[in-house]
Amino acid sequence: MKKGEGKSGGPEGDGSATVQEPDAGDGQPVRLQKYLAMCGAASRRGAEPLIAAGRVRINGAVVTNPATPVKPGDSVELDGEPVGRQAHRYVLLHKPLGTVCTRSDPQGRRTIYTLLPPEFGHLAYVGRLDINTDGVLLLTNDGTLTYRLTRPEFEVERDYEATVRGRVKPDKIAPLMQGIREEGELMVARSAQVVLTTPYSTVVAVKLTEGKNREVRRMLESLGLVVVRLTRVRFAGLEVGDLAPGDFRELTEDEVKGLKQQSGVSC
């Protein structure tokens, strides 16, 4: 499958989803913080410092309260540029090893955005993967969906396969499901199982429902295991399929509906 093509293989009429956001709150006012996220201008958390810094105007007036209501017909600006509803885009990237999830890297490392065409440069990644982790990575400008997919209370599943050194027995990884406390954080796997063993290594499948920083690595390392490879094989039901590392495609309409249904977002 070529970069940028949908599942049916064509650039047009391929079932990939470009969904226009409906009026905020079905014609009702929405909080400024949520509005910016819905428009893809920033995440809800990222919108707070922008608003507090006086960078946002509603109908020409600077607003510093993230709870300020935005009504249908209001003019919203960020740094003097209009902020409006954008057509939502949803892109699945097979993130390769050696790339970082950031727009620019002070160390000069290759970022995931170098793999995408300029038209996708405004999309935000949903759940960071570190430089030494490859696999499924979703990018979108749908702020509402991003919020739901990344919040632990919605229990969106993330599946990983970790290759660790040596032969590991199932009882060794049982504590992952009981919960491991490390650096003051409690980390619990929904499931963990040994799926492959060789004389020198073991592949462990781990399912999580939240995405703490380096969570899988930290959990396994706390058991004295050395992780030599980590791949996110599934995120919210999405898999890379036949995408080669570095390749991408837009999601189909059915895939977008599936993401929204499992995260409680109205389609």
Domain endpoint, select from 82, 111, 135: 82
Catalytic annotation, residues: 130
Phi, psi of 159 (to 5 degrees): -115, 130
Length of the chain: 267
Does residue 202 share a domain with residue 71?
A: no
Does residue 228 share a domain with residue 119?
A: no
Q: How confident is the model at residue 40 (pLDDT cuts 50, 70, 90)?
A: confident
Residue 5 lies in a domain: no
Residue 249 lies in a domain: yes
Q: Which domain holds residue 59?
A: 18-82
Compute the Cα dihedral for 191, 192, 194, 195 and give only its sign: positive
CATH number of the structural domain spanning residue 209: 3.30.2350.10
Q: How confident is the model at residue 156 (pLDDT cuts 50, 70, 90)?
A: very high
Does residue 114 share a domain with residue 241?
A: yes
CATH number of the structural domain spanning residue 47: 3.10.290.10
Question: What is the value of pTM for the model shown?
Answer: 0.73
Quote the crossing angle between the two packed helices 253-263 and 143-150, to the nearest 10°: 50
Residue 205 lies in a domain: yes
Report yes or no: 32 and 56 within 8 Å, Cβ to Cβ: yes
Per DSSP, helices labelled H in the chain are 32-38, 44-52, 143-150, 170-173, 175-178, 215-222, 253-263
Instruction: Compute CA 23 distance to the chain's CA centroid, rounded to the nearest angstrom.
Output: 24
State pLDDT tens for residues 80-107.
988 876 678 999 999 999 999 998 889 9
Residue 257 lies in a domain: yes
Does residue 246 share a domain with residue 148?
A: yes
Does residue 112 share a domain with residue 65?
A: no
Does residue 129 share a domain with residue 191?
A: no
Does residue 242 share a domain with residue 145?
A: yes
Residue 100 lies in a domain: yes
Number of folded domains in the chain?
3
Does residue 207 share a domain with residue 145?
A: no
Does residue 72 share a domain with residue 48?
A: yes
State pLDDT tens for residues 127-136.
889 999 999 9
CATH number of the structural domain spanning residue 91: 3.30.70.580
Does residue 164 share a domain with residue 148?
A: no
